[in-house]
């Protein structure tokens, strides 16, 4: 699996963070049916003036497909900034919601 950190730093600042939270929550349904997406979080970094998200994907191919999508292409306008993207391998994770650690790849 792969993690993808996507951060935006709007040149005009974050604006009203309560409104930003609402705007993020309104977008949740847009991510429910994306093939290969296992987890998506939204992030607000008030001191750093950044917003974005962290994604867990089942494969690099799923990331590549998402980054070719109209949804991905719409993110700079929504976030008023070009994205800074970092991709990581995720060999294991702890899912506290289910109370267990999960090994994702064979050693």
Check the CA dihedral 78-63-65-25 and report its sign.
Answer: negative
| Percentage of the residues of the chain whose pLDDT score is greater than 90 | 57
Other residues' Cβ atoms within 10 Å of the Cβ of residue 69: 11
Please give the residue that has the higher pLDDT: either 93 or 38: 38
Domain coordinates in residue numbering, the chain? 2-103
Global pTM reads: 0.85
Q: What is the mean pLDDT of residues 66-79?
A: 91
Q: What is the mean pLDDT of residues 81-107?
A: 76
Query: Is 107's pLDDT higher than 50?
Result: no
Looking at residue 27, its pLDDT comes to: 87
Query: Is 18's pLDDT higher than 80?
Result: yes
Please give the residue that has the higher pLDDT: either 81 or 99: 81
Looking at residue 100, its pLDDT comes to: 62
Token pair, residue 23, equals 């705007």
Instruction: For 2-103, give the CATH class.
Output: alpha beta
Query: Is 9's pLDDT higher than 90?
Result: yes
Q: What is the mean pLDDT of residues 22-48?
A: 92
């Amino acid at each position: 699996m792969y993690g993808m950190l996507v951060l935006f730093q709007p040149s005009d600042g974050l604006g009203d963070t309560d409104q930003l939270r609402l705007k993020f929550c309104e977008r949740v349904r847009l991510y429910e049916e994306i093939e290969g997406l296992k987890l998506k979080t939204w992030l607000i970094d008030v001191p750093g003036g950044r917003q974005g998200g962290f994604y867990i994907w089942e494969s690099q191919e799923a990331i590549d497909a998402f980054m070719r999508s109209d949804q991905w292409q719409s993110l700079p306008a929504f976030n008023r900034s070009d994205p800074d993207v970092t991709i990581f391998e995720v060999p294991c994770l702890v899912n506290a919601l289910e109370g267990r650690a999960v090994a994702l790849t064979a050693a």
